[in-house]
Every structure is written in structure tokens, then in C-alpha cells.
Amino acid sequence: RKEVEQDPGPFNVPEGATVAFNCTYSNSASQSFFWYRQDCRKEPKLLMSVYSSGNEDGRFTAQLNRASQYISLLIRDSKLSDSATYLCVVYSSASKIIFGSGTRLSIRP
Amino acid sequence: GAVVSQHPSWVICKSGTSVKIECRSLDFQATTMFWYRQFPKQSLMLMATSNEGSKATYEQGVEKDKFLINHASLTLSTLTVTSAHPEDSSFYICSASWEGPYEQYFGPGTRLTVT
């Protein structure tokens, strides 16, 4: 079992839709969690941190479920520009960083 | 803020030659820099972590004699791929952080093709 797993997608949804995807992690001692987005052939860019209490940034909401060991990302009112690959990042410890393989999201007009 | 640059953005080299990639933090001092490799349609794989002035810590399976990392200052780290082989062709991305490993800021990447 991979330490961090994501549904590779692609998720193909119409503009304006709400879409959500999860990322599961196997190490219950994992400390910190982040979502990054990566456009094709570009570097990842930090989207948001994931806090225990959940956090929201505009149309994006991130949640952490420690009991079930997953984090989620919800995108509301999706825009064409949201099309990208979304990577979850899990820090098992301060020195062990693991990237998920990414979930591809495609927003259609 | 938090801009990281990489140079070159792409490079083609012949087998057996060495290639140096530079990673610079432009507007902050990076106490820690990370080097990743990403193959097509795969996720980033951490190769090594380097702190300014000390030796890099390599991930399991990464040959330290092949991938030489130098973090000479708080704004510059270099990765040298020595005796490159076609299987080293990949997208190499660096990232930098000023508060430990969290909230890394990524460079634009270097696409290496070894012929």
C-alpha cells in the first residue's frame, strides 16, 4: 500500500460544478498536510494548508479526517482555470515528505 | 514574494557528460532546499534535502555520488548530475523553505534530456 494515495482521475466536470477529491495516508503519525496544484509541465504551487479544524479559502475548502486518515479538497463553483493536477502532500515527520501522485481535474465549458 | 528560480529551464546533453542545475531563492533566505525528480505522469519524488552549509541528506535509492548537491549559501543550491545516462532524463524541480520543510516554494523546474 502506498503511503499516500490519490484517485488519479481524471475528474471531468462542467464549469460551475462542485467537485471534491480525497487523499488517504497510511501513517497515523503524519503531522502536516497541504494541497498543491500543478499545471501541465509546470512546477507545483501551494494551494492551501490543511488544518485539523478545516480551512476555507474562497471557493476552496480543505478538511482533515484523522480518524479515517484522509484529507479532502472541495472546489465550489469551478472555473475553467481550475483545470490542473492537484497534489496532496503529507509530512510523516519533519524530515519525511511524501507527495501523492495527483488527481487530474478538467473543467469543461 | 517567495520566488524561486532555476537555471537552465531545459537542457539536452550527451551520455557521459555532467549537467549542473542551479536553484535560487530570489527574495528570501532559504534555510532548506529540496530537490525533486518527476517522471511523466508521475508524482514528485524527493531526491535530497539540503541545509545551507551542511551536507545534503539523500533519500533511499538516490546515489549521492551521481547527484551532487551543494548548498553554498542561503540563496543558492546546485544539483550536478554526473555521468548522465538517458534514464536520468526527467523533470528536476527544486524547492526552498525558510521555516523548516513546511510551505515549500518551487522553482519552475529543469527539463533534462540525455541523448
Give B100's pLDDT tier (boundaries 50, 70, 90). Answer: low
Contacts of A31 in chain B (CB under 8 A): none
Q: Mapping DSSP to helix (H, G, I), strand (E, B) and coil, where does residue A98 land?
A: strand
Contacts of B101 in chain A (CB under 8 A): 91, 94-95, 97
- pLDDT tens track for A40-99: 888 888 899 898 888 999 999 999 999 999 999 999 999 999 999 999 999 876 667 888
- pLDDT tens track for A24-49: 999 888 888 999 999 988 888 889 98
Residue with grid cell 534535502, as numbered in its chain: B49
**What is the grid cell recorded at A51?**
488544518
The rounded percent of chain B whose pLDDT value lies above 70 is 97
For the cut 80, the answer to whether the pLDDT of residue B1 exceeds it is no
Distance from B109 to chain A by nearest Cα, in Å? 6
Contact B101 A101 (CB under 8 A): no
- With CA atoms as reference, report the closest residue to A91 among A29, A13, A16: A29
- pLDDT of the residue at A43: 87
Contact B101 A91 (CB under 8 A): yes
Closest partner residue to A32 (CB to CB) among B34, B46, B102 is B102
Distance from A28 to chain B by nearest Cα, in Å? 19
Contacts of B102 in chain A (CB under 8 A): 32, 34, 91
Contacts of A94 in chain B (CB under 8 A): 100-101
- pLDDT of the residue at A105: 96
Residue with grid cell 532559504, as numbered in its chain: B30
A 33-92 residues with CB below 8 A of B? 34, 41-46, 49, 87, 91
- pLDDT tens track for B25-50: 998 888 889 999 998 878 889 999 98
DSSP state of B87: G
Q: How many angstroms separate the most distant Cα atoms in chain B?
A: 39
Amino acid present at A55: N
Give A3's pLDDT tier (boundaries 50, 70, 90). Answer: confident
Q: A40 to chain B: nearest residue by CA? A: B41
- With CA atoms as reference, report the closest residue to A28 among A83, A92, A106: A92
Cis peptide before A10 (omega within 30 of 0): yes
